[in-house]
Chains A and B, each alone.
Chain A
């Protein structure tokens, strides 16, 4: 609800800005640079598949190319039961993969260790660690699509029961005919159940298909798939911060920019998360 509320405020403000005739243009600003830092981007979910941890380094703001991959690291993931070593992909340097029958279990804690890397080039290897608990998620009863004519978009509505007595955090991604429409963290929907703890979600707006914005057209018979993930509070906060840092900022409704706080030790950036996964689909009818 927090993010929806924010959207209303922003929508209201933007309407006024429109009236006031605000304009935007690109400018050239000289920016300072800083030392590169390790960036960790990885996850473990309850889905049985190849999971990956991607290692890169941060770059100058105007570097304008794909981030530099960190190869030859020793990457392991450990829960109470087993410890596995991830192997670096041949085709995609910097991507460290689990076996394809790997999956996480609800209630377990996943510990990531990265060794054999020397980001600061001082000849001494550094060790980086991160840990995430895998929380449970309730099943989806059904999914529905509804047209919203003020903003010309399709709302993806969720029907599901939120468990009582637990603080639950969710993220939502969508796919159209099995091709993902949410390829960035900032495109995920995310909610925290403190406003509806233990209630039945009877058609709650959790994701959006904006045909114009996404450059697609929904056709009769298309399948829209909604994934609901049970995430940790820490990762929820991470998503909130990422969303703030990549969204439009203006004096009216934005605080000072600040670094997104990840969960990796030793000054590395990024996040290693564990989440549970549930999904349901709906066929599109106009």
Chain B
């Protein structure tokens, strides 16, 4: 099987190449390649997805994730246009007789569109790209959307896009096209982020000042990535300003931030460091209650990146993220956080062949326990890390074929839980849920082929291989999920293997320059799952790999969409339908024990899920007005034979209607206002149909799982942005952001509980808890 797949991948690359050769054969030996990089003229940041357009041939290409582009043409004289939205286009004339390197720097346009908006790189990109179900955001564009407590947060903006919804109010967890939150692959500079939430998930770990580019793939995931069923959130950190030393920062309601970037020695090396810390606890020493004064409650983020251009053909990058939440009182303590490190080496083999070699490490861990050393004091920790190597190639065969291929291997070790007593006469034995180790390997190849002016195909294949490897102890269960025996495996011993072939296909039929129809089919496998049965998740949730008891999750997704632009591409509309079938999905038995449980796999129940829906998007980018309206109509059902009597039940992430309106109005050069309004159908929940009394308690009686719904959710947020005057000889530029979350104070139910009345215990009633009503905040941002 392995051999056959490898062969297939090899043939695919070869075929693309061969076909490309055949097509151009009469002239191929005469093709000459122009290549180079496209950068921002003020900061030197590589521009991702900028376009190169050849007027004479009406063909073009886009820059890759590192700003590299390549285009091959017969000898001759050409006009090249380099463009990127929000930048002045650069036009140049070339006489082509031999391979040329043209490095281009684009200036941000003075008539800059203050996009708060999801942008396309090229005005008509949404019509022309064969990629569908992708949403792009730029770091600087996220900050104008009003958010909770003024904490600019890319995840909160993503939740306003069609097909994406938050898992619960204020949560940084999200569901894509009805998928579970653990089915999203979140990458920060290609490193997996295993828990993207701070402060119980109310804020995401991504400090916007350090972010350059964000892409969310909602289904049509490129063959270069895999391992999760529903989506890929690809976040790229800034490389650092290579032109001059500069800084950005802000003082907000709950946190402050500072980012510094600049060249080191010369333009070849640059760095960026970025930090953020909350300061709620800085006021605690002033508290009147003595026991509160020693409390700790804060989080911080630290991002750092340095890159060095060795020569024309070699550039290296080193980046890292370190973040932690700390909570402590004189009773208990808890801390948790992510660490990631990424080393990259871009190497240009030839003007047509670009490569990137990446080494990645990522870690998530938490610890909690009691503070004092009593008999029942304890410490409890959990730790997950991965080490990964990745090799990616972009091969620009000819103007009509671009092949991406590569390989990745990940080693992952998880310590699900270790608890031990800390006191002198400790009661507790050491309890250790045995570590598990696994490998995830993948090979992929994908070709984007322009068949004709009206048809572009994207076809690729990913082959993924998963291996459970020793040293480790594997538990086995019978058909009733009862533990039967355990097996110990030695170091390096592979004791279980899964693999899968993942086709990734897409087609774009271009009907006319402003209209296209796209279709895609995608298969994805998931070998790592999250043990959480709450809808919002906690920092204590533990990831667990597939194993002899846990088959990989699998999804097939079909999508079809119509894309149409109006008014010189300033208004983009799209309608996309999707159908997603998921196999071996995971749910949990009633009242499961998910933490510190060595028999965790016995708590799992397996089934299928089905999601389908229609997403509509209207996006406008006018000089004074911009924003979008998105609407999604969808349904998600799960079927698990041991849950709900085997009958299908709605996923907790099913929202029939989901609508977001995001508007930004520029009032003057220094003033703008923004608003967003969100509406979605309340999440499915289980309410009681009766009650009964046992042992003095009134216990609710339920019938079907998720047969009822929470009340509908809606909310309006507003913000006003006042920029300081720009003076020619002043570097400092300041800006005030006043915002209000939930402006009309809607009491959105976060939880509904069924409780006994305090005064009359025979009365039971429904009680609603809501979190945020009308939260104003002020933030001062600056840059220099």
Contacts and interface: CB of A to CB of B under 8 A. Distances in A.
A151 B769 CA distance: 23
Contacts of A150: 291, 329-331
Contacts of A260: 591, 699
B536 interface: yes
B129 interface: no
A149 B747 contact: no
B692 A58 contact: yes
Given A19-B280, A27-B766, A250 B427 contact: no
A9 interface: yes
A64 interface: yes
Given A26-B765, A39-B694, A252 B534 contact: yes
B700 A241 contact: no
Contacts of A36: 690
Contact of A8 (B332, B375, B766): B332
B696 interface: yes
A203 B374 contact: yes
Interface in A69-120: none
Contact of A41 (B170, B695, B762, B775): B695
Nearest to B597: A2
A252 B201 contact: yes
Contacts of B773: 23
Interface stretch (A122-130, A135-143, A194-202, A219-227): A194-202
Nearest to A237: B591
Given A19-B280, A252-B201, A203 B771 contact: no
Interface stretch (B34-42, B622-630, B748-756): B748-756
Given A26-B766, A202-B425, A256 B536 contact: no
A259 B700 CA distance: 8
A211 interface: no
Contacts of A151: 331
A71 B598 CA distance: 46
Contact of A61 (B330, B534, B754, B768): B754
Interface stretch (B14-22, B237-245, B701-709): B701-709
Interface size bucket, B side? 35 or more
Q: Which of A5, A40, A253 has the most CB of B within 10 A?
A: A5
Interface in B651-708: 652, 685-703, 705-707
Contact of A245 (B291, B699, B749): B699
B697 A39 contact: no
A49 interface: no
A30 to B, nearest CB: 9
Contacts of B695: 41, 184-186, 242, 271
B701 A58 contact: yes
Contacts of A29: 687, 752, 766
Give the residue among A13, A57, A259 with the most B Cβ atoms within 10 A. A259
A175 B561 CA distance: 68
Contacts of B687: 29, 31-32
Contacts of B332: 8, 11-12
Contact of B693 (A37, A56, A202): A56
Contacts of B754: 61
Interface hub of A8, A31, A197, A240 (most chain B Cβ within 10 A): A8
A212 to B, nearest CB: 13
B777 to A, nearest CB: 13
A24 to B, nearest CB: 5
B256 interface: no
A25 B768 contact: yes
A257 B692 contact: no
A257 B534 CA distance: 10
B767 A16 contact: no
Given A196-B429, A251-B751, A24 B694 contact: no
A185 B694 CA distance: 8
A234 to B, nearest CB: 13
A4 interface: yes
A201 B427 contact: yes
A149 B593 CA distance: 30
A53 B698 CA distance: 17
Interface in A1-60: 1-2, 4-5, 8-9, 11-13, 15-17, 19-29, 31-34, 36-37, 39-41, 56-60
A201 B419 CA distance: 17
A255 B605 CA distance: 14
Given A8-B334, A61-B754, A250-B750, A204 B693 contact: no
A183 B694 CA distance: 11
Contacts of A16: 199-200, 202, 297
Contact of A185 (B167, B696, B771): B696
A269 B375 contact: no
A262 B386 CA distance: 43
B772 interface: yes
Contacts of A269: 692, 694, 699, 701
Nearest to A20: B771
B259 interface: no
9 contacts: A26-B766, A36-B690, A41-B694, A58-B691, A58-B692, A66-B762, A199-B429, A242-B697, A253-B534
Interface of A: 1-2, 4-5, 8-9, 11-13, 15-17, 19-29, 31-34, 36-37, 39-41, 56-67, 148-151, 157, 183-187, 194-205, 237, 240-242, 244-246, 248-262, 269-271
Interface of B: 167-171, 199-202, 280, 291, 297, 327, 329-332, 334, 368, 370, 374-376, 378, 380, 419, 425, 427-429, 431, 533-538, 540, 588, 590-593, 595-596, 652, 685-703, 705-707, 747, 749-755, 762-773, 775
